Homo-oligomer: A and B are copies of this chain.
Amino acid sequence: MPRSPMRAAPTEAMGFAMRTEPLKVALLGCGVVGSEVARLMTANAADLAARVGVPLELAGIAVRRPNRQREVPGVAPELFTTDAEALVKRDDVDLVIEVIGGIEPSRALILAALESGKSVVSANKALLAEDGATLYQAAEKHGADLYYEAAVAGAIPLLRPLRESLVGDRVSRVLGIVNGTTNFILDRMDTTGAGFTEALEEATSLGYAEADPTADVEGFDAAAKAAILAGLAFHTRVTASDVHREGITEVTAADIASARAMNSVVKLLAICEVDPVAGKVSARVHPAMIPRSHPLAGVREAYNAVFIESESAGQLMFYGPGAGGSPTASAVLGDLVAIARNKMTGRRGPGESAYAGLTVRPVGEARTRYHISLDVDDKPGVLSAVAGIFAEQDVSIATVRQSGRGPDATLVIVTHLAPDAALTATVARLRALDFVRDVSSVMRVESE
C-alpha cells in the first residue's frame, strides 16, 4: 500500500533500512567534460560517498570511438563501451549522466534512462532548449529526476537558484553573458582593436573556440541557454526557436570603436523578459552596447555573468567560469549528488514548472534602444531630414553627435526605447537616403 504522501516515511526519519551498496552510474560521453567527471568521481570518491551516504561507482562509460586512447586516471579501461543503449538499460545502473551533447542519440538515451526510472544529469543545452518538455514528461511519468545545472553558464549555480531559491518571488528580467567564446572574442576586440576574424583566430588557438565556431559566434549556444533561462524564470515553455538570435560575426572593429567613444563596450547578451499583464514572454540574443559602468561590462575573457531582476529580491548577479571541463564537471557532480541523495531517500527534486503558459512576443515588439552611425554628406538640411525619418517611425532620439567634416562627416545617433520593428524600419529608411553614404554601425544599447 502506498504510504501517505503527507508524512515522511519512518525509513527516512529514523535512518534505518537504508541501502549500503554503491549506487552505479552510467556516464554517456567522455570528452572534455566526461573525462573530468570520471576523474573527479574517482579522485573525490570518499567525499562524494560521505555526502551521498553510499559510494558512487562508475558502471560504464559510453564512447563513440573505442580505439581512441583514453587516459582517465583511476578508470579501468574495461569500463569503456560503444553500446550506450545497452549501458543505459543495464539492470545494475542506477543513475545516468549524459555529456554527449546534440539532439540524437542523447534524447533517445535520456528517455530510455528515465523510462526505466533512472534519474538523469545532463549538460545538454541544445536538447533541453529544443525538447525539454518531452524529457520532463518522461521524468514525471516514471518518477525520476532530471537535473541540468551544467547546461547553462557552466559551474555558476544559476538554474537551482531560479528553480528553487526564487520560486517564491516574481522574476521580471534575466540579462546575461552566457557564452564564454563570444565574450572572449569581443573582449579581445575591445582591448586590442582587432577585427572579428583576427580575434576569432586567437580564441581558436587558445582553445576558447572550437574548430567549427558556428554554434558560439552565430549565437545558437546562447539562444539555447536563453530559452532554458526564460522557461525557468517565467514558469512557461520556451524553445530555442522562440529566441530571436543574432550572432557576433557582423560586429566590426568600427562598432567596437563607436562603443568605446561612448564609454561603452559591446557584449553578446541574452535577454529574457516577461509582460505578465499581456501574458507574454520574450527572449533574445544579440550584441549590444552597455556602458562601462555596468557590472556586465567588467566581465572579461571567457567568464559568464547573469543578472536576475525580481519583484522582491531586486537585482542579483551570478558570476563565474561559464565553460571548460572542470567547471562544467563541478556542476554535473553537484547534480549527481542531488539525484543520488534523492534516490537514497525515495525523494525527487522539483519537476517542470510551466503553469504560466505564456505566449512568445516577437522581437519586433520588444522595446530596445539603437545606436546608429551614419556616414553622411556634410551639407545643410541633413540632420533635419534624418530626424524626420525617426519622427515618421515614432522613434524618439536621445542624443545626436556629429564628428568630422566634409567627406568624413559622421552622425552618431542614440535613440530612446522604441519597438524593435520601428527601429529596424528607421534604419532601412536611412539606408535609402541619397545623402547617407553608409550606415556604418547599427547596434542595440542596453543601459540598465
Which A positions have Cβ atoms within 8 angstroms of B? Answer: 1-15, 17-19, 36, 40, 44, 47-48, 50-51, 117, 140-144, 149, 154-157, 160-161, 164-170, 235, 295, 298, 310-321, 326-327, 329-338, 341-348, 350, 353, 355-356
Set of chain B residues within 8 Å of A348, measured between Cβ atoms: 8, 12, 345, 347
CB pair B165 A157 closer than 8 Å: yes
Set of chain B residues within 8 Å of A337, measured between Cβ atoms: 164, 167-168
Set of chain B residues within 8 Å of A160, measured between Cβ atoms: 157, 160-161, 164-165
Given contacts A1-B1, A14-B141, A314-B320, 20 further A-B contacts (CB under 8 A): A2-B9, A5-B12, A5-B19, A5-B344, A9-B346, A12-B348, A13-B143, A44-B168, A50-B356, A154-B313, A155-B316, A164-B334, A164-B337, A164-B338, A167-B333, A168-B330, A312-B330, A316-B318, A318-B318, A347-B348
**A390 → chain B, closest Cβ, in Å?**
36
CB pair A168 B335 closer than 8 Å: yes
The listed residue (B10, B19, B50, B313) touching A320 by CB distance below 8 A is B313
Look across to chain B and name the residue whose beta carbon is closest to the beta carbon of A9: B2
CB pair B315 A317 closer than 8 Å: no
CB pair A117 B8 closer than 8 Å: yes
Given A13-B142, A164-B160, A327-B312 contact (CB < 8 Å): yes
**A106 → chain B, closest Cβ, in Å?**
21
12 A–B contacts from the bound complex (CB under 8 Å): A51-B353, A51-B355, A155-B312, A156-B313, A157-B160, A160-B165, A295-B298, A312-B329, A313-B321, A315-B321, A345-B347, A347-B348
CB pair B48 A168 closer than 8 Å: yes
**A339 → chain B, closest Cβ, in Å?**
11
**A342 → chain B, closest Cβ, in Å?**
8
Return the 3 tightest CB-CB contacts between A and B, nearest first.
Answer: A168-B333, A8-B143, A13-B143
**A353 → chain B, closest Cβ, in Å?**
6
Set of chain B residues within 8 Å of A40, measured between Cβ atoms: 168, 312
In the bound complex, what is the Cα–Cα distance between A51 and B342 (angstroms)? 20
In the bound complex, what is the Cα–Cα distance between A51 and B336 (angstroms)? 24
**A147 → chain B, closest Cβ, in Å?**
10
CB pair B345 A5 closer than 8 Å: yes
Look across to chain B and name the residue whose beta carbon is closest to the beta carbon of A314: B321
**A434 → chain B, closest Cβ, in Å?**
48
CB pair A13 B164 closer than 8 Å: no
CB pair A331 B157 closer than 8 Å: no
In the bound complex, what is the Cα–Cα distance between A353 and B341 (angstroms)? 12
Set of chain B residues within 8 Å of A343, measured between Cβ atoms: 6
Set of chain B residues within 8 Å of A140, measured between Cβ atoms: 13, 15
CB pair A167 B334 closer than 8 Å: yes
Given A6-B19, A168-B48, A327-B313 contact (CB < 8 Å): yes
CB pair B312 A326 closer than 8 Å: yes
In the bound complex, what is the Cα–Cα distance between A47 and B168 (angstroms)? 8
Set of chain B residues within 8 Å of A143, measured between Cβ atoms: 7-10, 12-13
In the bound complex, what is the Cα–Cα distance between A319 and B161 (angstroms)? 13
Look across to chain B and name the residue whose beta carbon is closest to the beta carbon of A153: B316
CB pair B2 A18 closer than 8 Å: no
The listed residue (B5, B161, B319, B331) touching A346 by CB distance below 8 A is B5
Given A51-B235, A346-B3, A319-B317 contact (CB < 8 Å): yes
**A20 → chain B, closest Cβ, in Å?**
12
- Of A168, A317, A345, most buried by chain B (CB within 10 Å of CB) is A168
CB pair A316 B312 closer than 8 Å: no
